[in-house]
Amino acid sequence: MATIGDDQPEPPAQSETTQDASGYFSSYNDLSVHQLMLKDRPRTLAYRKFFETHREAVKDKVVLDVGAGTGILSLFAAAAGAKKVYAVEASDVAVLCKEIVEENGLEATIEVIHGAVEEIQLPVTVDVIVSEWMGFYLLHESMLDSVIAARDKFLSPDGIMAPSHATIYMAPVDMSEHFQDRADEWSNIYGFDFSPVASVLNRNEVSQPLVECVSPNFLRSEPKELLSLDLRSVTLDEVRRFTNKLEFCVPQETKIHGFAFWFDVDFHGCLPPRKNKSAVVMDCVTSTAFMNEKGDAKCEASPTSYLPSSVSANETAEQSNPEVVSLRTGPRDEPTHWKQTVIFLPQTIAVSADTNLASRVTMSQDTSNNKRHYNITVALTGDDDEEDDSDEDEGADSDTSTDHPVPCQCGSGRCRLIAALVEKYDMEHEELGDEAELVEVEAEVDAARELDEAIEREGWPMDADTSTPSVDDG
Provide the annotated active-site residues: 132, 141
- Distance, in Å, from the CA atom of 220 to the CA atom of 46, rounded to the nearest integer, reads 29
The sign of the CA dihedral 309, 312, 317, 318 is negative
3-state secondary structure 261-304: EEEEEEECCCCCCCCCCCCCCCEHHHHHHHCCCCCCCCCCCCCC
Q: How far apart are alpha carbons 145 and 161 in whole angstroms?
A: 14
Q: Which residues contact 297 (CB under 8 A, 6 or more apart)?
A: 290, 291
Q: Report the candidate in 162, 143, 129 with the shortest Cα–Cα distance to residue 46.
A: 162
Contact criterion met (CB below 8 Å) for 55 and 267: no
What does DSSP say about strands 62-66 and 84-89: parallel, antiparallel, or unpaired? parallel
Instruction: Tell me the pairing of strands 84-89 and 110-114.
Output: parallel
H or E element that contains 257: strand 254-267
Distance CA 442, CA 265 (A): 76
Q: In Å, how far are 76, 82, 259 from 104, measured between CA atoms? A: 12, 15, 45
Q: 167 has which bridge partners?
A: 228, 264
Distance in angstroms (rounded) separating the CA atoms of residues 308 and 169: 13
Handedness of CA 132, 137, 142, 145 (dihedral sign): positive
Q: How far is CA 99 from CA 93, 95, 236, 342, 379, in A?
A: 10, 7, 34, 39, 50
C-alpha dihedral (16, 22, 24, 25), degrees to nearest 10: 120
* 72 three-state secondary structure: helix
CB atoms within 10 A of CB 303: 15
